[in-house]
Amino acid sequence: MTLEIFLTVLNLDLKMFDQGLLAGLASFFSWLVMSIVKFVITPSLMTAKGFEPWEILLVTISGAVVGVLLFYHTGKAIFSWWSTLKSKFFSNNKRKAVVTPGRRKFIQYKDKYGFTGLLIVAGLFSVPISALLGAKYFSNRQNTVLYLILAFVAWSCVLTFLSLCVKNGLL
């Protein structure tokens, strides 16, 4: 009852919760998972489905925060474990690293643009890939997680704005 009064005062339209609380929570969490896995298309899909801009921002930003925290810390732990495992079992048998054209381009990009480059293109990659790249190559930097989250907040705002402009015929 108090939630209805509060929403009436704020005059918010909760499309997600039209079918009830459980269906609304299921909808929220399914869109949240979608924003973790396919961040770049989630705002457009939600806009096409008729969600309000604040709902789109809430879902995409929440998904980005959950995804960055989950994949960054999991990736950091896995990379640390793998490094320990390699040094323990494969220290005597050192192999020369194989340099492929793809690896060479990636290293050139990383050296040229660095962490700032990752933040700029993070929204075009998925949340897991960006978080894992941050954990692998930039975990020694201070506030890596915070900057990744802020980059996804910015991307969320930009993608939501562009989706709304396309829907309203402004672009």
The DSSP-derived string for 122-141 is TTTS-HHHHHHHHHHHSTTS
Q: Give yes or no for residue 41 having a pLDDT over 50.
A: yes
| Percent of residues, the chain, with pLDDT higher than 90 | 50
Q: Give yes or no for residue 66 having a pLDDT over 90.
A: yes
In the structure, what pLDDT confidence band is assigned to residue 110 with cuts at 50, 70 and 90? confident
Q: What is the pLDDT of residue 9?
A: 44
- Contact of 46 with 55, CB cutoff 8 Å: yes
CA Rg value for the chain = 20
Q: What is the pLDDT of residues 120-155, one digit of tens each?
A: 999 888 999 999 999 999 988 889 999 999 999 999
Give the predicted TM-score (pTM) of the model: 0.80
Q: How far apart are CA 124 and CA 133, in angstroms?
A: 13
